[in-house]
Structure 1
Amino acid sequence: MKITKVLSLALAATLPAMLMSPLASAEDFPSRPITEIVPYPAGGSSDLAGRALANALSGHLGVNVVVDNRSGGGGSVGISALARARADGYTIGVAPIGTIANQPHMHRTPYNAESFDYLCQFYYGPEVLVVKPDSPFSTLKEVIDYAKAHPGKLSFGSPGPGTLPHLDMLRFQQVTGIELTHVPFAGDGPGLTALMGGHVDLYMAMPNTVTDRNLDAVAVFSEEPMSSLPGIQTVMEQGHDMTASVSGGLVAPKGLPSAIKQKLVEGCEQATQSEELKTVLGRVGFEARYQGPDEFRQLVERTSEVNGRLIKEVIKKGGGR
């Protein structure tokens, strides 16, 4: 009897604390540093964007947000580590759309587009179709007309099979009814070098690369013309219903407590307004563009659906033009 009574009293004493602890944890969050996984090496555009976001988040949340670079596998190593992390708000990650939406279709990964809680999109950059120096083409129409008359003769470079620029060029061929030859490279650097050396005819580049390297652009894949590219019409203005961009955001392991998620969402929205973030993103060719959790999740799901179909129907069947 005595033992039963003691256990009952102990349970009664601890039960309120047990019931209150999740709420108290959410109210106290964050009480220690937060780890932000960046799935690419230090010094790259994703890393610089992630560090600028981490600095802005630190100011808003009142604790250090520490960047942890986990590179490899086209970003899938870092995103896999994030998916396996504890869903307590103390591990978050930068999620480029290409990594989170495309990689699960390219090879087996321990995650897919539904494996995360989405916090916000914070960067965006439209792609630009450029031609090699001294190209005979000065307009998108000239490119398309020639490609239709000479299927497979024009080539385009990409940073590698299954990357966003590669998949966007596949979509572009489908939208315009043309056939191009794909020449993959090990990253943007070698691809752009090949373009500038005249070894490929076309390339998808970022706006800052176009201006910094004085590349010849024939179309921008944004919804509206860009002030930084005067005189360059959008693809839609030139009669083809397509946009294409490189973008990404902040995600966390699935299952965050709602109060903790809300604090991170609010922090992400505030951080996107940071002047430091805008400056850093501008230097690497992006702009700060906020979208809330639902909008960002829907964007990833749409991208996964469209690009997953392309990967299955074209790349995995050996027709990765």
Structure 2
Amino acid sequence: MKLPNVASGTRALLAAAILTLGGIGGAAAFPDKPVEYIIPFGPGGESDIAARLQQPYFKKMFGQDLVISYKEGGGGAVGWAQLNGLNADGHTIMGINLPHIVIQPAEKDVGYKTDDMVPVYWFQYTPDAIVVPAGSEFKTLQDLIAYAKENPGRVTFSGSGKGTANHLAQVRFDKLAGIKTTYVPFGGTGPATAAVLGNQVSASWGYTTVGAAQGDQVRMLAVAMEERHPLFPDVPTFKELGFDMTGGALRGIAVPKGVAEEKRKAWSDMIAKINKDEGFRKQMLDGGFALIDVPYGEMQAFMQKQKDDYISAAKEAGILK
């Protein structure tokens, strides 16, 4: 839309007014009431932490509250199975995770299918990391590997559910390192971390965010990144130690299938704006997260590639036949 030839300040005000009204037919601003932001895990995990970091930026930028609630269970499956039955006026969103939403329905009937989901933006990921308690006998990754070779199955790893990034990482690393360890699935990163802090397991397949949150209580032996995380300059990458391993859990936002196309795009734009804010970016990096930007317009191609890659990796790991 071409604006009239007016002074720059007036022009800016006019542009803002047009955006607020929606430009056509005087449509109401969106969102026009508080938004329910559902996390399909319990409190305290990465999905919850990231959502709470987004809250004040959303309020400041768009004038509405993000009201966080939880529908935990089944490694996220309980919430995702209910997503398309929720209010489709655009004021309900849900956190989603990869590889979870690809592997779970490929493995068995979990009440939803990957292709029925409507992701509108992927905004962050957490690199995989091996985490041990600060007092662990394993001071280095090689210590853990040596023990695991002498004691097959005795090293136990907590992780966030079956068929998750944690689970795939455990299976893949066992193969790369020529060891056999035991994976113990929990209902999210929070309880998986509590298990390693409480010495219920030998170690955890967690993320860099666990190291950021737990500080001196834990030690990370390696991270699955191309380069070291800026928050942990002393923690080597798996690649540095001779293991070709990068990856982690991707997190984004989805809406119910009935949400109109223009509102899907609006959500993509809103999350993108938050993700570009320097204050938000710093908080995320300081929390051990890594940022990505996959908007709604690129979603179809992105999701197809993720499906192909994760299904292939799960078959190679023996999680899928």
Within 5 Å, which residues of 2 pair with 1:8-157?
28=28, 30=30, 32-33=32-33, 34-41=35-42, 44-85=45-86, 88-131=89-132, 135=136, 137-144=138-145, 147-148=148-149, 151-157=152-158
- 1: CA distance between counterparts of 2:210 and 2:314? 27
Correspondence for 1:250: 253
Correspondence for 1:207: 208
Paired residues of 2:159 and 2:183 also in contact (CA < 8 A): yes
Report the CA distance shift for 1:274/1:80 in structure 2 as closer, same or farther (over 3 A).
farther
- 1: CA distance between counterparts of 2:42 and 2:261? 31
Task: Say if 2:234 is the partner of 1:227.
Answer: no
Paired residues of 1:277 and 1:288 also in contact (CA < 8 A): no
Question: What count of residue pairs does the alignment treat as equivalent?
Answer: 296
Task: Say if 2:159 is the partner of 1:158.
Answer: yes
Q: CA deviation at 1:176?
A: 3.3
Q: CA deviation at 1:270?
A: 0.4
Paired residues of 2:227 and 2:237 also in contact (CA < 8 A): yes
Look up the equivalent residue of 1:291 and give its one-letter code.
V
- 1: CA distance between counterparts of 2:56 and 2:191? 32
Q: CA deviation at 1:269?
A: 0.6
Q: CA deviation at 1:278?
A: 4.2
- 1: CA distance between counterparts of 2:300 and 2:77? 18
- 2: CA distance between counterparts of 1:264 and 1:191? 31
Look up the equivalent residue of 1:79 and give its one-letter code.
W
- 2: CA distance between counterparts of 1:242 and 1:224? 11
- 1: CA distance between counterparts of 2:112 and 2:132? 37
- 2: CA distance between counterparts of 1:155 and 1:64? 41
Describe the superposition over 1:124-165 as per-residue Cα deviations: whole angstroms up to 9, x where unpaired.
221221345555544334544554565434332324433431
Tell me the secondary structure at the aligned position of residue 127 of structure 1. Answer: strand
Structure 2: gaps (5+ residues): 1-21
Paired residues of 2:130 and 2:223 also in contact (CA < 8 A): yes
Question: What is the alpha-carbon root mean square deviation over aligned residues?
Answer: 3.8
- 1: CA distance between counterparts of 2:140 and 2:302? 30
1:218 to 216, 221, 226: 221
Identity in percent: 28
Structure 1: gaps (5+ residues): 1-21
Look up the equivalent residue of 1:273 and give its one-letter code.
K
TM-score after normalising by structure 1: 0.72
Larger radius of gyration: 1
Paired residues of 1:100 and 1:300 also in contact (CA < 8 A): no
Q: CA deviation at 1:210?
A: 2.7
Paired residues of 1:113 and 1:300 also in contact (CA < 8 A): no
- 1: CA distance between counterparts of 2:79 and 2:113? 13
1:259 to 257, 262, 265: 262
Describe the superposition over 1:158-216 as per-residue Cα deviations: whole angstroms up to 9, x where unpaired.
24433431222112223333322233455545544554565533322333433514423
Look up the equivalent residue of 2:276 and give its one-letter code.
Q
Paired residues of 2:128 and 2:165 also in contact (CA < 8 A): no
Correspondence for 1:237: 240
TM-score after normalising by structure 2: 0.72
Paired residues of 1:113 and 1:301 also in contact (CA < 8 A): no
Paired residues of 1:157 and 1:191 also in contact (CA < 8 A): yes
Report the CA distance shift for 1:53/1:296 in structure 2 as closer, same or farther (over 3 A).
farther
- 2: CA distance between counterparts of 1:257 and 1:184? 37
Paired residues of 2:53 and 2:280 also in contact (CA < 8 A): yes
Q: CA deviation at 1:219?
A: 1.0
- 1: CA distance between counterparts of 2:187 and 2:42? 15
Report the CA distance shift for 1:84/1:150 in structure 2 as closer, same or farther (over 3 A).
same
2:295 to 267, 292, 296: 292
- 2: CA distance between counterparts of 1:155 and 1:31? 46
Look up the equivalent residue of 1:290 and give its one-letter code.
D
